[in-house]
A = this chain, B = another copy of it.
Amino acid sequence: MFLSTRVRYGVRALIELGMNYQKQSVLLKDISKRQNLSLKYLDHIFMQLKTKGIIKKIKAKKGGYLLAKPPEKITLYEIIEAIEGVRRIECLDDENICSRSSHCGARIVWKRLNAKVDEVLKNITLKDFIRESKKFEQMDESVVFSV
């Protein structure tokens, strides 16, 4: 499974919002600095996440972004769909692409494959990413304390 850099950057940024869920909003500028990602590129990505209702903005000075819903309600499927669209084999949705689509055995299997992969993507949520990230955060703290 290959994921575009857009999706990967998007997830890294969403993790930051998730870590602050129900605390304060996060500035794109800060994410860009901390994660060392282009502000302008993140800008695009966030525009799409907002349109799809995954994040909310606070526009103006001291603004920033917030998650629009709890991390466990944001699936990876949803994030991918928002950022790059879930690209599909054309003849799955449109019968008219392939002349023989009504008699194509491959098509049946492609449908089954997509259903399974979609299920995997829907069972991973932002919460999973945050849980793993917090583990590292704790590790870092314990290192500091033991010095």
User: Chain A: residues with CB nearer than 8 A to chain B?
Assistant: 1-3, 8, 11-12, 15, 36, 76, 87-89, 99, 103-106, 108-110, 112-114, 116-118, 120-121, 124, 128-136, 139-140
Contact = CB atoms under 8 A, between A and B. Distances in A.
Say how many copies of this protein the assembly contains.
Answer: 2
Given A105-B132, A105-B134, A136-B104, A8 B89 contact: yes
Contacts of A121: 113
A1 B106 contact: no
Contacts of A114: 1
Contacts of A130: 105
Contact of A2 (B88, B103, B104, B136): B88
Contacts of A136: 103-105
A106 B120 contact: no
Contact of A76 (B104, B113, B124, B135): B113
